[in-house]
Amino acid sequence: MRLEGKVAIITGGASGIGRATVEKFVREGAKVLIADISLERAQQAVDEITAAGFDGATAACRVDVSVFAEVEAMVAKAVEIFGTLDVIFNNAGIAGGKPLLDHDPAVDYEPMIRIDQDGVYYGILAAGRQFRDQGTPGVIISTSSIYGEQAAELSFTYSAAKAAVISFTRSAAYELAQYGIRAVAITPGRVGTAIINQFSDELKETFASEQLRNKMTQPSEIADVVAFLASDEANVINGTVVHVDDGYSVFKQRLDLPTF
């Protein structure tokens, strides 16, 4: 088990990519603090994982990642429960969009920046300080997006926040390497989470067609990559943006080509 003996925090851990990653980490031998804006959902995840035979492998924590004091308390709780910290997966985020000129900054800019951008910064800072103070190596993995590297419809704020995650990751890797800390970002494409599954079948088919396998990526497939990145097998992956987009970023659409 590649994560045997490691302790991790996963934010947004009660659903979607976060929940799938919690389950993957536990199967790989890690202890995980499931951090989520909903303590009820986080505790439900703990109860279900315990019932599946992993007693003591997880604990629940409520966190609003847009509040630094709560992120600091989350890190302290992981250390209090499990004795140390080895990995943080800054995964919590929100989505949504509106044409730029229709924006209300208080609704369409500020909340997403606080959660998707500031929340990652706070996670990097709090975990980085913990790793430094422990005197042990650590891994910081953060969820960006394909939209962090390109323009897209209705995504002015979301793209900006996810681009910041990429910049944070590169700078953190540079500054924290002296402490044995690695920082990596992932850029998911179209993933079959609740955010996308709420849309019509027609729109979901369009989303699937934007990827090379012509289907949605499953949260568990992202979790597999995150588990590898968290492991010692990925020690040379640092300051890197890992595309987990099934080729979304390499093409725009398929064409009916003429016969030559």
Check: CB of residue 149 under 8 Å from CB of residue 249.
yes
Burial 181-197 (b: 16+ CB within 10 A, else e): bbbbbbbbbbbbbeebe
Helix axes 119-134 and 68-82, enclosed angle (nearest 10): 40
Q: Would strands 181-188 and 31-36 be described as parallel, antiparallel, or unpaired?
A: unpaired
Residues designated catalytic: 158
Handedness of CA 110, 111, 116, 118 (dihedral sign): positive
The Cα diameter of the chain in Å comes to 68
- The secondary structure of residue 53, as a DSSP letter, is T
Nearest to 32 by CA among 236, 223, 254, 250: 223
Nearest to 95 by CA among 80, 111, 106: 111
